[in-house]
Amino acid sequence: MTKSAFSSVLLLFLYLLSLFSPSSAEIKSLTINSDSRPMILFEKFGFTHKGFVTISVSSVSVAVLSSTAQPESSRLGFFLLNEESLLQVLIEIQQNPSFCVLDSHYIFSLFTFRDLSPPPLASFNRSYPVTSPNEYSLFFANCAPETSVSMVVRTEVYNLDTDGAKDYLSAGQTQLPTLFFLFSLAYFAFLGVWVYICYNNKRSVHRIHLLMSGLLLIKALNLICAAEDKHYVKVTGTPHGWDVLFYIFQFIRVVLLFTVIILIGTGWSFLKPFLQEREKKVLMIVIPLQVLANVASVVIGETGPFIKDWVTWNQVFLLVDIICCCAIIFPIVWSIRSLRETSKTDGKAARNLAKLTLFRQFYIVVIGYLYFTRIVVFALRTIAAYKYQWVSNAAEEIASLAFYLVMFYMFRPVERNEYFALDEDEEEAAEMALKDEEFEL
């Protein structure tokens, strides 16, 4: 690899870092085998004025991939880089293709391989205080082209709170355990009210209502596990198995949510007891895609950005999520068009008008929910200061709770809801409304 190509790869990596910026914590032990990347990102963490980063490196070996001379040990090392300095480093690399990021004045250099103990041990262990509050990324840089590195790395990144205890969550995430716990209580209360409504309207309960009850239960359990996961990471640096439960309930919740939206959009168990072939195909496409998306989510969350395919998994997750969001809209559109066609022949204008209005409102609600959680939340996560990263999580949970409330209210089991209401006195007015309003999307 030439120096120009080496520089281009480095520029590309730093650019992708700005797009996919993980914020992780906890104690991690990582094994790197024959890795020739010029930059490896290990952590991204928001430090207070009492921050610390501990790095333990062992079993280090550097292999030369070509016949070049043995590289200088000072050309390989670890450093911290904050968001403000990232642009300056990019400019330095662009101006000088042979520039080594370890020589930059904008980085907080930790150590290079020159500080390693002599072979055969080749190890290093040291803790560094971070007294300047900011969000930093922990990198390993290899400025020796045509070389690959193997090593075992253990990282421990934390802040000290007021009583001297270690807090392994980033400064912008330390509020998440409480946030998730409060929202879990809200969903448990929501579930209790929903069960009460279903019990008092037994004759109007359909199978979709039971599925909606399951969705609420799984959502509440998912938030409880998320709260416990973040709590144990915050206190001990490891999730103690709660991350496994979190990913399980996360998978079930997402699949159930998309399934409920699709089934409601098709009118299943409300308007008809069966699904058409095209509606079945949507389910058969969305569910496997959600399995793939959740696999990508687990890889992103558990392995971290140090793996070679981390950016690829991020792209897979985003692409699959976009496809699923588009797919769940089609059944709602099909139902609106079907009802519109039916209204011209069956003579039940009032009922059809109510159904059309309900489906159009549901269409708008789903679009608004997807737009907010995919676009607005991402924007908040991008522009918010590192100390307020929890705000994007709060906004996402508030939007989700509002969406659940509206959706469950619109399709609640009552004796005379929009599906079954039929007021003959309004039949003529409804016919005129159907003629005037085309209900086109």
Q: What is the CATH number of the domain that holds 389?
A: 1.20.1070
Residue 157 within a domain: yes
Residue at a domain's end among 122, 145, 167: 167
Q: Does one domain contain both 125 and 193?
A: no
Q: Does one domain contain both 146 and 276?
A: no
Q: Does one domain contain both 154 and 201?
A: no
Q: Does one domain contain both 102 and 243?
A: no
Residue at a domain's end among 121, 142, 167: 167
Q: Does one domain contain both 255 and 391?
A: yes
Q: Does one domain contain both 291 and 432?
A: yes
Low-confidence ranges of the chain (pLDDT < 50): 6, 12, 15-16, 18-20, 418-423, 426-427, 430, 439
Q: Can you give the pLDDT at residue 422?
A: 43
Q: Can you give the pLDDT at residue 54?
A: 94
| Collapsed DSSP state (helix, strand, coil) of residue 158 | strand
Number of domains in the chain: 2
Q: Can you give the pLDDT at residue 226?
A: 94
Residue at a domain's end among 125, 149, 167: 167
Q: Does one domain contain both 40 and 96?
A: yes
Residue 230 within a domain: yes
Amino acid at 53: V
Q: Can you give the pLDDT at residue 39?
A: 86
Residue 81 within a domain: yes
DSSP lists the bridge partners of residue 155 as 28, 55
Structural domain of residue 384, as residue ranges?
176-436
Q: Does one domain contain both 124 and 203?
A: no
DSSP string, 341-390: HHHTTS--HHHHHHHHHHHHHHHHHHHHHHHIIIIIHHHHHHHS-GGGTH
Residue 388 within a domain: yes
Q: Does one domain contain both 146 and 269?
A: no
User: What CATH number did the domain enclosing 134 receive?
Assistant: 2.60.120
Q: Does one domain contain both 203 and 349?
A: yes
Q: Does one domain contain both 196 and 315?
A: yes
Residue 441 within a domain: no
Cα distances from 114 to residues 39, 118, 272, 310, 357, in angstroms, run: 18, 9, 72, 29, 71
Q: Can you give the pLDDT at residue 421?
A: 44
Q: Does one domain contain both 34 and 112?
A: yes
